[in-house]
């Protein structure tokens, strides 16, 4: 069992900080699936609601994304030099990260579709 830092922040913020640190250190890598909620509950002394709230916070920060059937995944790192600057609001930066993720998803889906179409052509007599 891992312990949360002891400070005045709510538990969900402390849990989010621990997971964010794991991502920054590379313990959780881009594209990697995070443990399910029940496993995070077993790892940290927190409730299911705390875990869900912490994951929501990490999604809002653009660090993870959620697939409704497969769980939460670490996002690819954003090229901060291009996308983030002091001239932009945090909301703008979050939107730009989301657009970048959508572009990556579209590329993956296009590659997948190309593979399916190729397999279909090869299976024809």
Per-residue pLDDT reduced to its tens digit, 5-34: 999 999 999 999 999 999 989 999 999 999
Q: What is the mean pLDDT of the chain?
A: 86
CA distance 125 to 7: 68
Cα dist. 70→25, 32, 73 in Å? 24, 11, 9
**Distance between the two ends of the chain, CA-based, in angstroms?**
58
pLDDT at 82: 47
Grade residue 96 by pLDDT with cuts at 50, 70 and 90.
confident
Tokens 């291009």 -> residue: 82
Give residue 92's pLDDT.
Answer: 83
More confident call, 124 vs 55: 55
pLDDT exceeds cutoff 70 at 4: yes
For residue 3, pLDDT beyond 70? yes
How far, in Å, CA of 19 to CA of 2, rounded? 11
How far are the Cα atoms of 7, 36, 64, 77, 81 from residue 67, in angstroms, in the given order?
32, 12, 10, 18, 28
Distance of CA 46 to the CA centre of its chain: 20
* Residue 27 per-residue DSSP state: S
């Amino acid at each position: 069992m891992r312990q949360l830092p002891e400070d005045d922040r709510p538990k969900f913020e402390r849990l989010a900080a621990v997971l964010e640190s794991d991502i920054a250190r590379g313990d959780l890598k881009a594209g990697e699936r995070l443990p399910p909620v029940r496993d995070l509950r077993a790892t940290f002394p927190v409730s299911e609601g705390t875990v869900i709230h912490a994951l929501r916070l990490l999604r809002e920060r653009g660090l993870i994304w959620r697939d409704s059937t497969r769980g939460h995944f670490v996002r690819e790192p954003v090229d901060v030099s291009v996308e983030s600057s002091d001239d932009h609001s945090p909301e703008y930066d979050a939107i730009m990260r989301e657009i970048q993720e959508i572009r990556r998803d579209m590329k993956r889906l296009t590659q997948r579709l190309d593979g399916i179409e190729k397999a279909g052509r090869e299976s024809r007599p």
